[in-house]
Amino acid sequence: MTTPQRLFKHEESALVLIDYQTEMFDNVRSETPADLIDLNVRLLIKAARAFGIPVVLSTVGVKMGVNHPTRQSIVDELPGIEVIDRSSMNAWEDKAFRKAVEKTGRKKLIFGALYTEICLAFPVLEAMADGYDVTFVVDAVGGMSQLAHRTAVERLTQAGAAPNTALAMVTELFRDWASPVANDARTILKTYLTDLGALAAR
């Protein structure tokens, strides 16, 4: 029986983003469209930067010449970040990636990745086995089919990882409109809701 999770706090958490690359976005076929995934990932990044949450960003196959780098709209939100490129589908098996996560000093990890069934599922399961408390953001991830995405969400949930959504995650991280980071949160959320409305109007 899994232990019930407590709410995540920004001062205890790290944001882990995996494989938000052109090839992956092009093949998303699950319920959240690619442009909304992009918007939700950028929301998470903006909140992480405003709240002092460390971010780990990884790609697969760029140095091998197989895939393109992180989507420009996402990497633009993370100036100066060192992107960890891997050959392994399971990021947790990459030493540089795992070292970067450990270096954050945080034991609560917020995961996002493309695809849900591979590049999210594998490291989430491994991180939990190594003692990390993990949540994943269901509307900031996507699978190659709806069945693949939903099966992975069920697999991770049954294993003890907590699903969340981008907007709920951000509000969970600060939770109090009188908090020192609340003014930043207001600005971030206002921009997000405006962008969300524009996306829906397309």
User: Is 178 domain-assigned?
Assistant: yes
Find the domain containing 105 and state its range. Answer: 11-200
Q: Strand 55-60: give its sheet, edge to edge.
A: 84-86, 55-60, 13-18, 108-113, 133-137, 162-164
User: Is 101 domain-assigned?
Assistant: yes
The predicted-structure confidence for 131-146, as pLDDT tens digits, reads as follows: 999 999 999 999 999 9
The predicted-structure confidence for 123-132, as pLDDT tens digits, reads as follows: 999 999 999 9
**Token output for 182:** 């609340």
The predicted-structure confidence for 83-112, as pLDDT tens digits, reads as follows: 999 999 999 999 999 999 999 999 999 999
Helix, strand, coil share of the chain (percent; to 5): 50, 15, 35
Q: Structurally, how many domains does the chain consist of?
A: 1
8 A C-beta contact, residue 60 and residue 92: no
CATH number at residue 35: 3.40.50.850
**Token output for 42:** 């950028």
Cβ-proximal residues to 146 (8 Å cutoff; 6+ apart), any chain: 29, 30, 31
Of 66, 126, 67, which Cα lies nearest the Cα of 95?
126
Task: Identify the band that residue 3 occupies on the pLDDT scale cut at 50, 70 and 90.
Answer: low
User: Is 115 domain-assigned?
Assistant: yes
User: Is 156 domain-assigned?
Assistant: yes
pLDDT score, position 202: 87
**Token output for 17:** 């983003």
User: Is 1 domain-assigned?
Assistant: no
User: Is 3 domain-assigned?
Assistant: no
Q: Tokens 């600060």 correspond to what residue?
A: 174
What integer best gives the mean pLDDT of the chain? 96
Residue 58 has pLDDT above 60, yes or no: yes
Q: What is the pTM of this model?
A: 0.96
User: Is 6 domain-assigned?
Assistant: no
Residue 73 has pLDDT above 70, yes or no: yes
What value does the mean pLDDT take over residues 19-32?
A: 97
Task: Identify the band that residue 1 occupies on the pLDDT scale cut at 50, 70 and 90.
Answer: very low
User: Is 57 domain-assigned?
Assistant: yes
Residue 2 has pLDDT above 90, yes or no: no
